[in-house]
Structure 1
Amino acid sequence: MPVNNLITTTNQLSSTLDVQQITPDYFLTHYSEFIPRVIAKGNPSSDTMRHYCNQIDFFVRWCITHERHPLALNEYQILMYREFLLNRQYKPDSIQVMLAAVRAFYAAAKKIELIQVNPAADVEAPSIGHNVDALLHFYTPQQMNEIVHVFDKDKDTFTRTRNRLILYLMGVEGLRNIEVHRACVEDINWEANAIMIRGKGTKGRMEPIYPCEETFELIEEYLKAIPTDHAVKKDGVLTPLILSSSNRNFMGRISRNGIRSIMNKALTACDLKHPGYSCHVFRHSCGTNLYKETKDLRLVQDTLRHRDPKVTARYAHVADRLDKRHTSKLVPHE
Structure 2
Amino acid sequence: MAIQKIASNKQYDLSMSQSLDQEAITPDYFVMNYLQFLSRYISKGRPTADTLRDYRLHINSFIRWCSEHDRHPLAMHDYQMRMYMEFMFNRKYSDNTIAIKLAAIRAFYHAACKIGLIEINPCADLKAERKLVWDEKFRFYSSEQIQTMCDYIKNNKEDNFIRYRDMSILYLMAVEGFRNVEIHRMCDEDINWDYKSIAIRSKGHGGIVYPCNQTFEVLKRYLEVRPNAQRENNLTPTIVSTHRRHYSRISRNGIREIMNEILSGCNLKHPGYSCHILRHSCGTNLYAKTKDLHIVQMQLRHTDPNMAARYAHVHERMNNRCTSCLAPEID
TM-score with structure 2 length normalisation? 0.84
Which residue in the other structure is 2:159 paired with?
A: 156
Quick check: 1:222 aligned with 2:222?
Answer: yes
Distance across 1 between alignment mates of 2:280 and 2:206: 21
The equivalent of 1:254 in structure 2 is 250
Partner of 2:43: 40
Structure 1 range deviating more: 44-53 or 233-242:
44-53
Counterpart for residue 314 of structure 1: 310
- How big is the shift at 1:172? 0.6
CA gap of 1:239–1:73, structure 2 versus 1, over 3 A, is same
- CA distance in 1 between counterparts of 2:69 and 2:265 reads 39
Residue 200 of structure 1, CA deviation = 4.3
- 1:252 aligned counterpart, secondary structure: coil
Q: Which residue of 2 aligns with 1:299?
A: 295
Distance 1:295 1:216 in 2: 25
Farther off after superposition, 268-277 or 35-44: 35-44
Task: Check the 8 A contact 1:161/1:221 in 2, yes or no.
Answer: yes
Partner of residue 139, structure 1? 141
8 Å contact from structure 2 (residues 12, 32) kept in 1: no
Q: Secondary structure at the match of 1:242?
A: coil
Q: CA deviation at 1:166?
A: 0.9
SS in structure 2 at match of 1:110: helix
Q: How does 1:1-334 map to 2 (within 5 A)?
A: 13-14=18-19, 19=22, 21-128=24-131, 131-135=134-138, 137-152=139-154, 153-201=156-204, 205-228=205-228, 232-247=229-244, 250-325=246-321, 333=330
Separation (CA, whole Å) in 2 of partners of 1:304 and 1:114: 41
Structure 2 counterpart of 1:283, one-letter code: R
Q: After TM superposition, what 4+ stretches of structure 1 lie above 6 angstroms from structure 2?
A: none
Taking the aligned partners of 2:42 and 2:70, their CA distance within structure 1 comes to: 28
SS of match in other structure, 1:274: coil
Instruction: Verify the 8 A CA contact 1:7 1:32 in the aligned structure 2.
Output: no
SS at match of 2:18: helix
What SS does the corresponding residue of 2:207 show, helix, strand or coil?
strand
Q: Secondary structure at the match of 1:195?
A: strand
- Any conservation in 2 of the 1:6–1:49 contact (CA below 8 Å)? no
- Taking every aligned residue pair, what percent have the same amino acid on both sides? 49
In the alignment, structure 1 segments of 5+ residues that lack a partner are: none
Amino acid at match of 1:322: M
Provide Cα deviations, 1:206-250, integer angstroms capped at 9, x if missing partner: 31111111111111111122224xxx2323222211112224x93
Instruction: Calculate the TM-score normalised by the size of structure 1.
Output: 0.83
Whole-angstrom CA distance in 2 between matches of 1:288 and 1:165: 20
1: CA distance between counterparts of 2:256 and 2:195? 30
Structure 2 residue runs of 5 or longer lacking an equivalent are 1-10
Aligned residue for 2:33, secondary structure, equals helix
